[in-house]
Amino acid sequence: RKEVEQDPGPFNVPEGATVAFNCTYSNSASQSFFWYRQDCRKEPKLLMSVYSSGNEDGRFTAQLNRASQYISLLIRDSKLSDSATYLCVVKKNNDMRFGAGTRLTVKP
Amino acid sequence: DTGVSQDPRHKITKRGQNVTFRCDPISEHNRLYWYRQTLGQGPEFLTYFQNEAQLEKSRLLSDRFSAERPKGSFSTLEIQRTEQGDSAMYLCASSPTGGTLATNEKLFFGSGTQLSVL
Tell me the chain B residues in contact with residue A98 when contact means C-beta distances shorter than 8 Å.
Answer: 35, 42-45
Nearest residue on chain A to B36, judged by CA atoms? A98
Q: Which of B105, B110, B111 sits opposite A49 (nearest CB)?
A: B105
Average pLDDT over residues A45-66: 92
Torsion of CA B59, B64, B69, B70, to 10 degrees: 130
Q: How many CB atoms lie within 10 A of CB B102?
A: 10
Cross-chain residue pair A43–B109, CB shorter than 8 Å: yes
Q: What is the per-residue pLDDT for B56? A: 87
Express as a percent the part of chain A with pLDDT over 70.
99
- Confidence at A7, pLDDT banded by 50, 70, 90: confident
- Average pLDDT per block of 10 residues along chain B, 118 residues long: 89 98 94 94 93 88 91 94 97 81 77 97
As a whole number of angstroms, the distance between CA B117 and CA B110 comes to: 21
Task: List CB contacts (< 8 A) between A91 and chain B.
Answer: 105
What span, in angstroms and rounded, lies between the C-alpha atoms of B84 and B52? Answer: 30
Residue B6: name the closest of B75, B58, B65, B73 by CA.
B75
Q: Are A99 and A89 in contact (CB under 8 A)?
A: yes
pLDDT for position B2:
73
Distance from CA of B74 to the nearest CA of A (A): 19
* pLDDT at residue B49 in the model: 94
Supply the pLDDT for residue B42: 93
Tens-place pLDDT, residues A62-88: 999 999 999 999 999 999 999 999 999
B23 bridge partner residues: B6, B75
Residues B64, B78: contact at Cβ < 8 Å? no
Whether residues A87 and B56 touch (CB distance < 8 A) is answered with no
Q: What residues in A contact B48, CB-CB < 8 Å?
A: 94-95
Helices first, then strands: H and E counts in chain B = 1, 11
Residue B110's nearest CA partner among B77, B82, B61, B68 is B77
Whether A43 and B42 lie within 8 Å, measured CB to CB: no
Confidence of residue A54 (pLDDT cuts 50, 70, 90): confident
